[in-house]
Amino acid sequence: MQDETGLLETFDDKVAKEIKIEPRDWMPENYRKNLIRQISQHAHSEIVGMLPEGNWITRAPSLRRKATLIAKVQDEAGHGLYLYSAAETMGITREEMVDQLLTGKAKYSSIFNYPTLTWADIGAIGWLVDGAAIMNQVPLCRTSYGPYARAMIRVCKEESFHQRQGFEILLTLCRGSNEQKDMAQDALNRWWWPSLMMFGPNDDNSPHTAQSMKWKIKRFTNDELRQKFVDICTEQAKILGLTIPDPELKWNDEKKHYDFGEINWDEFWKVVNGDGPCNSERLAARVKAHEDGKWVREAASAYAEKRNRNN
Amino acid sequence: MADQISNISTTQLFNYTLNLADNSLIMGHRLSEWTGHGPILEQDIAMSNIALDLVGQSRNFYQYAAQIKNKITPSGDGGKGTPSVDRGTTEDSLAYLRDADEFKNIILVELPNGDWGYTIAKLFFFSTWQFLLYQKLIPSSDAQLSAIAEKSLKEVTYHVRWSSEWMIRLGDGTDESHQRIQKAIDEIWNYTAELFLPSAFENACYENNIGVAVSEIKNDWTQKINDVLKEATLTSPAAVSSPLLAGKEGRHTSFLQEILDDMQYLQRTYPGCKW
Amino acid sequence: MNSDEPLWEIFIRSKQGLDHKHVGSLHAADAKMAIENARDVYTRRMEGVSIWAVESKNIHASNPDDAASMYDPANDKVYRHPTFYDLPDELKHM
């Protein structure tokens, strides 16, 4: 047996050499804690993220849209499940994680605390929110923890249709009536800034970034990813003929990037800390599903137990 | 296709196809209300899968119904004189622009979801019926209906299996689950009678070897239901004394209107738009 | 989500002729449910033709601490690989 220092050296060496860490390998306690926090938050985000879009399944305006939206929201449930599974390999149970979510101890992506007011919001979520998520997630396919990386590969493969369906919804609206185009612009106005917030605080204000980069849990900083997102979306908005709601957005020829305005961090922290427009509604919906489902889970377990006894 | 069949009115075939489509759509719509609210994450995913199968089936039937309709009225008007629809009847004009009294689905599928047990019981009764119906629809002289039935039967086979297992799990689970599922069965039972009462369009299609005689699948249905209820330690309710035709003839509960208010809201508010 | 509902490891054969491969895990009350859940969770995009479900507690894993004694000794047994043998190029079908 190696001592703690030796173990740590072996661990650091593996990470440096891009050798994946697997569940039963020795890992620093903080690495485990940090990952459980990140993976479970990510899983919770997928699950809570089903609500704002699920809200429009029954109102989807065509059968094709209805089918794709069900499939998309269902994928999010699947992604939540893959991620819960990955976290469970680190010794936490799903029940514990769900409990942390329902009691408000665990965080999830603040973006889902904004309401979906019109059909165009479903397009904007697909384009911007899934777009930002993909930008965050693609580097995670190479993250140092094996089960997390494998879950993310699966998630990213499935995500690719989500952003396209969102963009297609907006494109159809933008080519439609004036009212439809206004609907699309209004959705962009409301979702743009919250989407930029999805990348988290600025780098100089992000407590976990440095350690996470060192451990190769994260591969790019929040600001790097946010910049990339702004550059890509600004070009895509031109295809839609929509205006991004930022008067300071301007191409910087020197940096070869777009400059953009300051995020309203006050709003960011308010929503993170529970004062967003839908925080309580989202949590209440999750709590209700969990409580209403209690007797179902009990029945399934009781039945399985009876069967086991009889075999 | 419709024009190969001489002695049936195209309207009967149209209505028959609509009935199949409406059943699948409204059931699928109801099940999709569970997406994001299921009792267990894994079951949330399973329920969404079934909803997707049913919406898919309805699209196949609506597309065929639209073909039939456009033959009757080649200049098509969206199914009901809606001037905004300029591309004739489509799957969407049928789903989104008809009024409740034009829908031909059985009442069972429009009932609210209730708790998980209530939904499972609805689905179990419905899927078992759909399974027997599609099985008998495969030999139909109408090639399109036959093809859709054959494709859908694979999906429905799984729905029957999945919902049967849940019936047994809930019936033979805890005291609470047993009581809840028994109550659901008792409440829903009356609505199952309509499944086996033929409407005029069903009779016409049956007589022309296109459709299924729904009264003929009643015995097999009852047998299967009783087998599962027995294994689930549940009691089969007594036969419905005086069953009524309702949904198939366009007489619906207010639940369907509520569904349509929600479902058709965008198409109705912004007529003529593409989405 | 119920503490009584056990965790299952899922293995999927993606097409006939290939091995079952581990794809992830899920919760289910019993084996039948585990297989059906796996079908709905892991084969939505035609990823599989066959499913194995094994309750996670029944999987026994080697200890990574033993890796050196378990696997390193195979490193110097290059003679187990066909490329170890030096043979003339003219030799065919071997």
Would you give per-residue pLDDT tens digits along chain A (311 residues)? Answer: 568 899 999 999 999 999 999 999 999 999 999 999 999 999 999 999 999 999 999 999 999 999 999 999 999 999 999 999 999 999 999 999 999 999 999 999 999 999 999 999 999 999 999 999 999 999 999 999 999 999 999 999 998 899 999 999 999 999 999 999 999 999 999 999 999 999 999 998 887 788 888 888 888 999 999 999 999 999 999 999 999 999 999 999 999 999 999 999 999 999 998 899 999 999 999 999 999 999 999 999 999 999 988 87
* Minimum CA–CA partner of C30 in chain B: B169
Whole-angstrom CA distances from B135 to B26, B139, B195, C86 are: 21, 8, 15, 66
| Half-sphere exposure of residue B123: CA atoms within 13 angstroms, side-chain side | 34
CA distance C28 to A300: 9
Tokens of C4: 């009584």
> Residue C88: inside a domain, yes or no?
no
Tokens of B47: 């329920």
- Which among B45, B165, B169 has CB closest to C40? B45
> Which of the pair, C3 or B105, is modelled with greater confidence?
B105
* 3-state SS assignment for residue C23: strand
- Which among A24, A304, A305 has CB closest to C63? A24
Chains that contact A by 3+ CB pairs under 8 Å?
A: B, C
> Residue B173: inside a domain, yes or no?
yes
CB contact under 8 A, A24 and C27: no
Here the CATH number for the domain that contains residue B106 is: 1.20.1260.10
CB contact under 8 A, A85 and C61: no
| R_g over Cα of chain A | 21
Tokens of B220: 């097999």
Whole-number pLDDT of residue A268 = 94
Q: What was the ipTM of the complex prediction? A: 0.94
- Which of 9-48 (C) contact A at CB < 8 A? 23-27, 29-30, 33, 41, 44-45
| Cα angle for residues B220, B226, B231 (degrees, 5° grid) | 130
Query: What does pLDDT average to over chain C?
Result: 90
Whole-number pLDDT of residue A1 = 57
Whole-angstrom CA distances from A119 to A53, A62, A159, B45, B55 are: 9, 11, 20, 23, 20
C94: burial class by Cβ within 10 Å (0-12, 13-18, 19+)? exposed
Whole-number pLDDT of residue B86 = 43
For range B98-108, the mean pLDDT: 97
Whole-number pLDDT of residue B75 = 53
The total number of structural domains in chain C stands at 1
Min distance C39 CA to chain A CA atoms (Å): 12
A with C: how many residue pairs have Cβ under 8 Å apart?
57
CA distance A127 to A137: 15
> Residue B46: inside a domain, yes or no?
yes
- Return the closest-CA partner of residue B127 out of B224, B249, B209: B224
pLDDT at position B43 over 90: yes
- Return the closest-CA partner of residue A305 out of C3, C52, B161, B185: C3
C46 neighbourhood in chain B, CB within 8 Å = none
What letter represents residue A90's amino acid? M
Optimal mutation site among B37, B40, B162, B170, interface C, most CBs of chain C within 10 A: B40
pLDDT tens digits for B81-90? 444 434 589 9
Tokens of B180: 């809840």
pLDDT tens digits for B48-69? 999 999 999 999 999 999 999 9
pLDDT at position B174 over 90: yes
C3 neighbourhood in chain A, CB within 8 Å = 93, 95
> Residue C43: inside a domain, yes or no?
yes
CA distance C5 to A90: 18
Range of the domain at C30: 7-80
> Residue C54: inside a domain, yes or no?
yes
Kindly report the length of chain A: 311
Range of the domain at B29: 2-269
- Helical ranges in chain A per DSSP H: 4-16, 29-54, 63-88, 94-102, 119-124, 130-137, 146-174, 178-197, 209-214, 222-240, 265-270, 279-292, 294-310
> Residue B275: inside a domain, yes or no?
no
Here the CATH number for the domain that contains residue C62 is: 3.10.20.520
DSSP A21: B
CB contact under 8 A, B42 and C44: no
B227: burial class by Cβ within 10 Å (0-12, 13-18, 19+)? exposed
**Is any Cβ of chain B less than 8 angstroms from the Cβ of A117?**
no
The total number of structural domains in chain B stands at 1
**Is any Cβ of chain B less than 8 angstroms from the Cβ of C26?**
yes
End-to-end C-alpha distance for chain C, whole angstroms? 56
Assign C94 a pLDDT band (cuts: 50, 70, 90): confident
CB contact under 8 A, C37 and B169: no
A180 neighbourhood in chain B, CB within 8 Å = 270, 273
b/e A124-142 (16+ beta carbons within 10 angstroms → b): bbbbbbbbbbbbbbbbbbe
In this prediction the pTM is: 0.93
C29 neighbourhood in chain A, CB within 8 Å = 300-301, 303-304
CA distance C57 to C59: 6
| Residue A171: how many other CB atoms lie within 10 Å | 16
* Minimum CA–CA partner of B33 in chain A: A58
> Residue C52: inside a domain, yes or no?
yes
**Is any Cβ of chain A less than 8 angstroms from the Cβ of B196?**
no
CB C40 within 8 A of CB B42: yes
Whole-angstrom CA distances from C53 to A22, A247, B61, C22 are: 21, 55, 36, 10
Tokens of B69: 């309709």
CB contact under 8 A, B42 and C26: yes
Whole-angstrom CA distances from B270 to A177, A282, B275, C19 are: 9, 29, 10, 53
Tokens of A37: 């926090």
**Is any Cβ of chain B less than 8 angstroms from the Cβ of A84?**
yes
CA distance A186 to A117: 10
Whole-angstrom CA distances from B272 to A69, B27, B101, B267 are: 22, 27, 22, 7
pLDDT at position C12 over 70: yes
Whole-number pLDDT of residue C77 = 85
Strand partners, A259: A250
CB contact under 8 A, B177 and A51: no
> Residue B195: inside a domain, yes or no?
yes
Residue-by-residue DSSP string for B202-264: HHHHHHTTSS--GGGGHHHHHHHHHHHHHHTT--PPPPPSS----GGGT---HHHHHHHHHHT
CA distance B10 to B68: 7
> Residue B274: inside a domain, yes or no?
no
CB A56 within 8 A of CB A119: yes
CA distance B49 to C36: 12
Min distance C85 CA to chain A CA atoms (Å): 31
Whole-number pLDDT of residue B7 = 60
CB B137 within 8 A of CB B209: no
Min distance C37 CA to chain B CA atoms (Å): 6
Tokens of A86: 């990955």
B42 neighbourhood in chain C, CB within 8 Å = 26-28, 33, 37, 40-41
Residues in Cβ contact with A129 at an 8 Å cutoff, skipping those fewer than 6 apart: A49, A111, A191, A195, A198
**Is any Cβ of chain B less than 8 angstroms from the Cβ of A66?**
yes
**Is any Cβ of chain A less than 8 angstroms from the Cβ of C3?**
yes
C32 neighbourhood in chain B, CB within 8 Å = 165
> Residue C91: inside a domain, yes or no?
no
Min distance A66 CA to chain C CA atoms (Å): 17
- Return the closest-CA partner of residue A266 out of A204, A190, A195, A201: A201
Whole-number pLDDT of residue A14 = 94
> Residue B110: inside a domain, yes or no?
yes
CB contact under 8 A, C29 and B45: no
* Minimum CA–CA partner of A99 in chain C: C1
